[in-house]
Chain A
Amino acid sequence: MDVTRWLRGYATPCPFVVSAADGTGVRLDVEAELRARGWRRAVSPGETGLLVVCGNPGPELERAIDRVWRSMPAPRRRAAGLDGVDAGPGGTPDAGDVGMAERGDDRDGLRLDVLHVPLGPVLPDWPAGVRLDVALQGDVVREAEVTVVESAPSFWGDGRAPRRLDGVARLLRVAGWGAAAERAEVLRDAALRGEDGLAAGFAGFRRRVGRSWTLRWMTRGVGVADGVDVHGRLGAWLDEIGAVFGGADPGPSRPASVDVLPGLVAGEELGRARLIVASVDVDG
């Protein structure tokens, strides 16, 4: 037992972060705190026993969170933020109630060629409160149906730059470029605090992302809507942020409706579908 206690004391927690529609502000605090403490986020619930729920989930999201909670390995604890969550034993191990049969419901489709899988609402780097029910054949989305599980007034208000930087960070994470995404998050948090003189720092970041030929190679021609692909939408966001930091008028903001998503992801490979969803501004 002492060895286990020592291990738990030495271990760095690795939270699985879920955001409700009204949890954006808390999520940003949690992400900043994770960076400051040098902790890593979990990308799947199986990785960890620590669940952090940002905001106030509605009944439907709560059900999804509950399913995720029951699939997490012991010892588990749930928190509403990182305050009071330390490296250390904490919480109470409750290995006794790990019931997982419920997960089978999602998997019934395995008997068929078409597998029905929900994307979201509990999924990292995914718009809060949105669920996309996809019919998968292999790793190709055959068709999709979108549901807004819950919504809340926009957290961002007039903050065009931080809002876009949040979108850029999410898109870069989905594109598998965590280092660049972290940089976008740092800029986002600085912009949100109203720091001045971010233009130079952003210009460097923008050059690095814009010059990446691998990123262009992987995002060109993906999810074309109105003649613009994922790479084009990312470029437009970067232009917009550059305009705000440069003191120019970024032009009108045109948020998209989630209703465009099913049409865009139909027929796409899952990885491409994730890029497409991350490239469409549906957070409102």
Chain B
Amino acid sequence: MAEVAVLGVLAVAAASLDAVFGGRSWDAPLREAARLLATARRTTVRSDVLLMRAGVVVLPVAVAVAAAVVPVGDRAVGVPVGVVWFNAMEVVAWASVWLVGWGTNSAFALVGGYRFLAQGLAYELPHMFALVTVALAAHSLDFREIAAAQDGLWFGVWMPVAFAVYLVSALAMTFWGPFGHPVGDDVAGGAVLELSGADRLVFFAGRYGLLAVAAAASVPLFLGGGAGPVLPGWAWSVLKAAAVLALLVWTRRRLPVLRMERFMTAAWTVLIPAVLLQMLVVGIVVV
């Protein structure tokens, strides 16, 4: 599965880039991984180990399954409802963060889990409307057909609101940077507070994977897929995905964390109406 391998490389690159932005060496994430592998796993009193481990493991698995339908160039598993498949796998992140936050039986971790559920209520609807807008314009839920439908004019150019909403929701679903409150420093790591050793490594590898797959999916959705001069399709796919990924990673340096208590209002009064309006415009143009 070449797509999943490409995604893995992108995920490591994202972690590396974040370290470099932070003034640390490029291999800091690898050294961190080595540290976590050499650290014992421990559990907390009366924790539900099964739930917690399920939450940890399900994240990278869902990411890999989502990556399988995201085309690199023209390659991908042909799934006629690829967008729905991809969206369903993203939603597994809800379960993952909640299971980890709840399963470890710790006050702050539980608070982190609650925060992510609130975050889900804020980003998931705008996110799905952005995906629906793209599907409406392309008359298809298949990533390859969506990419092919952007011949000459990228969806990201003529539906910028949907693209912007997609990027914001990508940050939110990966609880990254400005949307990192569920795993925030103010609650000592929130949902992941009690994760140690390999558990922690697997969970965060899954999180970087989610960030990478969200960036990779934006290429067929908004950036014309593998289309581009000179270079082969797969190279354009990877280049575009890397550019979007770098943008997502960079936001962590630029913005403070957003609390859902305030962001929720903006999500429902600005993001949802804006993306619905975008869908209306697209609907009128296309139909």
Q: Which residues from chain A sit less than 8 Å from chain B, CB to CB? A: 4, 7-8, 10-14, 35, 38-40, 43-44, 46-49, 71, 73-75, 87, 95, 98, 100-101, 103-104, 106-107, 110, 115, 117, 123-125, 136, 138-139, 172-180, 182, 212, 214-215, 217-218, 269-272, 274-275
Contacts and interface: CB of A to CB of B under 8 A. Distances in A.
19 contacts: A7-B34, A7-B35, A11-B38, A38-B28, A43-B188, A46-B200, A73-B196, A100-B45, A103-B44, A107-B45, A110-B105, A136-B107, A178-B252, A214-B255, A218-B262, A271-B184, A271-B186, A271-B187, A274-B186
Contacts of B107: 106-107, 115, 117, 136
B39 A48 contact: yes
B196 A177 contact: no
Contact of B185 (A7, A13, A95, A173): A173
Contacts of A182: 22-23
Contacts of B194: 44, 46
A176 B25 contact: no
A275 B184 CA distance: 12
Given A179-B253, A214-B178, A274-B186, A269 B261 contact: yes
Interface residues of B, number: 52
Interface in B151-202: 178, 180-181, 184-189, 193-197, 200
Contacts of A35: 23
B31 A12 contact: yes
Contact of B193 (A10, A44, A100): A44
Contacts of A271: 181, 184, 186-187, 259, 261
A215 B258 CA distance: 8
B207 interface: no
Contacts of A215: 256
Nearest to A172: B256
A269 B141 CA distance: 41
A49 B38 CA distance: 10
A74 B39 contact: yes
Interface centre among A98, A179, A212 (most CB of B within 10 A): A179
A236 B248 CA distance: 32
A273 B22 CA distance: 27
A40 B257 contact: no
Contacts of A13: 35
Contacts of A75: 38-40
B188 A214 contact: no
B40 A73 contact: yes
Contact of B41 (A11, A39, A48, A73): A73
Given A47-B200, A98-B42, A7 B37 contact: yes
Contacts of A47: 189, 195-196, 200
B185 A125 contact: yes
Given A73-B41, A218-B262, A11 B35 contact: yes
B6 to A, nearest CB: 26
B246 to A, nearest CB: 15
B127 interface: no
A217 B24 CA distance: 30
B144 interface: no
A177 B189 contact: no
B75 to A, nearest CB: 34
Interface string B241-257: 00000000000111111
Given A10-B31, A270-B111, A177 B40 contact: no
Contact of B186 (A46, A49, A174): A174
Contact of B262 (A12, A46, A98, A217): A217
Interface in B84-118: 105-108, 111, 114-115
Contacts of A275: 186
A264 B57 CA distance: 40
Nearest to A49: B39
Contacts of B40: 49, 73-75, 95, 98
Given A107-B45, A107-B105, A179 B24 contact: no
Contact of A40 (B24, B39, B114, B258): B24
B156 to A, nearest CB: 23
A245 B163 CA distance: 44
A73 B39 contact: yes
B25 A38 contact: yes
Nearest to B112: A139
Contacts of A123: 188
Nearest to A100: B45
